[in-house]
Amino acid sequence: MSRSPLVIGVDSSTQSTKAAVTDAVTGKLLAVGRAQHRVSGEAGARETDPEVWWRALREAVAAGLAEAGADPAAVTGIAVAGQQHGLVVLDGAGRPLRPAMLWNDTRSAPQAAALTEALGGPQAWAERTGSVPVASITATKWQWLREHEPAVAEAAAAVRLPHDFLTERLSGTAVTDPGDASGTGWYATATGAYDPELLALVGLDTDLLPAVAPTGGTRAGALTAAAAEALGLPAGIAVAAGTGDNMSAAVGLGLGGEGLLDHPVLSLGTSGTVFAATRTRPRSAALNGFAAADGTYLPLGCTLNCTQAVDKVAELLGLGREDAEPGGEAVLLPYLDGERTPDLPTAAGLLTGLRHDTTARQLLGAAYEGAAFTVLRALDEVLRACGLDPDEPGAAGRPLRLIGGGARGRAWTSTVLRLSGRPVIVPASGELVALGAAALAAAAAGGGDPVAVATEWGTGEGPELDPVARDTRAWQRIASVLERSAPSLLS
């Protein structure tokens, strides 16, 4: 059994929980325990019982410790990075009153539109919170709950984000961090605090919300005796405030005030995201201008349809996910779950440009192209939000860090290279969200800056792939279809 001090970083995502058992000194990933989640819902609904996350966390920690052959007594800290935006409502005993509404639940699109107008339009929201309400944002889900399930909203004794819920189960302390809080719609990056006017707008009492820690690596409290027994860990070890999944990935990559600034990242998972850490507070209505976990900012563009949507197209075609060829003349916009960027919450997928000689492999390639194009469109906006001109050589040639499950796929990597025209760095670790959480746990247990910890560990390092000539014909073909067809994508 390992006798080095250990930390555990938890990645509680939409589909699963991962627990990274990590050497606190070297950052060596000893094992990753896993447990699956169940997401339910139809007609735009996407929900999970928060108790599923707690059970999965316990299972993942136990599996990780067993696989690592680690002594639980060596664990000194734990932190949770969770899927952003989900709405968790609890009773006075901390039990969920209903299943959590997840980030990709699109039922609150009408509430998003109404809230946007109520404050004076998109730019007013961007100036105050950094983000314009779309169906993903937590405030719109709370407003939907008030309108559709008022008895539940009135009974709520606490309102949490997914990572807040788990952190509170671990430490007994109601706490969040600026990063995840900045995705709620009631936290203002302009002031670094909950915004009283926005809370009044959605009829939410600040007493229902967790306190906001200075950073995600702040010690939120100690592991309670009950949580320690459930997890098989020592009571009293450090529990970090934790953060959202994208913020944690940035920490794992060494992005932030003590590391790299203004370097773009593309994450290919259930959702597709592009982001960078910067000292410039984002105010673009075209992006989410989140706070980062370490006190900097994280301008981010996010799409709903990424690897899962492309895998569905492969399934329909009877192909493996790597059986793709460039799409030829076909364009496939795989907006199977509506879309967040562009803001088309009730959209359906669109296929056009079929020819007699179009092959199934080309159709799958077109799905890859459509998904990659959708998230790469936001890259220039992210760079502008960092105060950079995306056309300047220094910004245009800056490597794109490719992470998430898709980064391990040949078809995804080649598509991103071809459509971006940029060099691409693929970090050697595939568990950057969990490793970022581990760095937060190490900071909470021993002090220091979590970004500096991750940089010292080298968790964001990996080979750099040379750029290829950008496929401007494919880019322009897809852009033209999207521009012409956006109204028809609405189902």
Taking Cα atoms as reference points, which of 390, 330, 403, 400 lies closest to residue 365? Answer: 330
Q: 7 - beta bridge partners?
A: 22, 77
**Strand ranges (E), 336-450:** 350-352, 400-403, 424-425
How far is it, in rounded angstroms, from Cα 315 to Cα 7?
39
Distance in angstroms (rounded) separating the CA atoms of residues 205 and 361: 53
Distance CA 284, CA 259 (A): 24
476 assigned binding-site residue: no
Residue 148 annotated as binding site: no
Please check whether residue 171 is in contact with residue 205, taking contact to mean a CB–CB distance below 8 angstroms. Answer: no
Contact predicate 48/13, CB 8 Å:
no
Return the H-helix or E-strand segment holding 164.
Answer: helix 162-171
Question: Nearest CA to 420 among 461, 364, 380?
Answer: 380
Selecting among 245, 294, 337, 380, the annotated active-site residue is 245
Clarify whether 49 is annotated catalytic. no
> At 63, is the secondary structure helix, strand, or coil?
helix
Give CA separation, 20 vs 187, 227, 394, 471, 483, in Å: 30, 18, 35, 38, 43
Instruction: Give catalytic residues, as residue numbers.
Output: 245
Binding-site residue set for substrate: 84-85
Binding-site residue set: 84-85
